[in-house]
């Protein structure tokens, strides 16, 4: 993909994604920009299907929805609320540790800087970027497996890891597209640009894609 193609590609994806399901964490941010809810839901979403994340988040927040009230729950109560998210026992412990850190270090407030967020238990750069962008409306680029895979499949980047992809996008992607690119590529990846046998025949941006590494498609 030529660098200049990113402009028509984003324009096309903006239209196309209206017909696709919005990721739950994005829906949550649209309902109300609550950084704590976005932080916890993103922790739950790691290696978990979106519908499972949504249901688990709603069950947990029905029990407690602030750091202080979550700390009143037992690990077992949190586990039951969030099951069957991936690694639910580990995530229950991390949620309690995150809530304790927020109470002890920032009076219960979620930090709005990536460097501070990644110091929290179980919080990596993907989660931190989502909290910064969706929770606070600040510039950031959330890179998950979809963003990493698709930007390399396009030929827009040549990177080996999601962290390399984030840094390459920060250097190359126009700043106006930073916040939205995750939602658009997650939707594209879930609906069309699958890891194996992507639906290239119906992809709205197929004319711009170099299809790097694609050996079989539909």
Q: Known catalytic residue: 160? A: no
For the chain, helix (H) and strand (E) counts, in that order, are 13, 0
| CATH at 149 | 1.10.1670.10
183 and 109 part of one domain: no
Query: Does residue 63 have a cis bond before it (omega within 30 degrees)?
Result: no
Question: Is residue 50 annotated as part of the catalytic site, yes or no?
Answer: no
Residue 158 lies in a domain: yes
Looking at 91, 118, 136, which one is the last position of a domain? Answer: 136
Task: Say whether both 54 and 89 belong to one domain.
Answer: yes
Given a cut of 90, whether residue 212 has pLDDT beyond it is yes
- The answer to whether position 173 is within a domain reads yes
Q: Given this model, what pLDDT does residue 30 score?
A: 85
pLDDT for residue 71: 98
Of these residues, 144, 160, 199, 210, which one is catalytic?
144
Average pLDDT of span 65-90: 97
Selecting among 3, 91, 115, 126, the annotated active-site residue is: 126
What does the alpha-carbon distance between residue 66 and residue 76 come to, in Å, rounded to a whole number? 18
* Burial of 212 from C-beta contacts in 10 A (0-12 / 13-18 / 19+): middle
Q: Which domain holds residue 201?
A: 3-21+141-208
The mean pLDDT value for 140-150 works out to: 95
Kindly state whether residue 102 falls inside one of the protein's structural domains.
yes
| Average confidence (pLDDT) over 66-77 | 98
What pLDDT, on a 0 to 100 scale, did the predictor assign at position 31?
Answer: 82
Considering the entire predicted model, what is its pTM? 0.87
Contacts of 75 (CB under 8 A, 6+ apart): 89, 92, 93, 96
């Amino acid at each position: 993909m030529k660098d200049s193609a990113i402009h028509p590609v984003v324009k096309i994806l903006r239209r196309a994604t209206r017909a696709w399901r919005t990721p739950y964490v994005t829906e949550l941010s649209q309902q109300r920009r609550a950084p704590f809810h976005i932080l916890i839901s993103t922790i739950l979403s790691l290696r978990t299907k979106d519908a499972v994340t949504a249901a688990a988040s709603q069950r947990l927040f029905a029990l407690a929805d602030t750091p202080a009230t979550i700390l009143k729950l037992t690990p077992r109560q949190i586990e039951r609320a969030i099951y069957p998210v991936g690694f639910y026992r580990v995530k229950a412990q991390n949620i309690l540790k995150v809530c304790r850190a927020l109470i002890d270090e920032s009076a219960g407030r979620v930090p709005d800087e990536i460097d501070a967020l990644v110091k929290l238990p179980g919080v990596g750069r993907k989660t931190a970027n989502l909290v910064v962008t969706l929770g606070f409306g600040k510039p950031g680029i959330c890179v998950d497996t979809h963003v990493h895979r698709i930007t390399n499949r396009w030929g827009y980047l040549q990177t080996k890891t999601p962290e390399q992809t984030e840094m390459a996008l920060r250097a190359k992607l126009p700043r106006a597209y930073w916040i939205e690119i995750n939602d658009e590529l997650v939707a594209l990846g879930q609906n069309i640009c699958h890891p194996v046998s992507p639906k290239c025949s119906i992809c709205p941006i197929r004319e711009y894609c170099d299809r790097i590494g694609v050996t079989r498609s539909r």
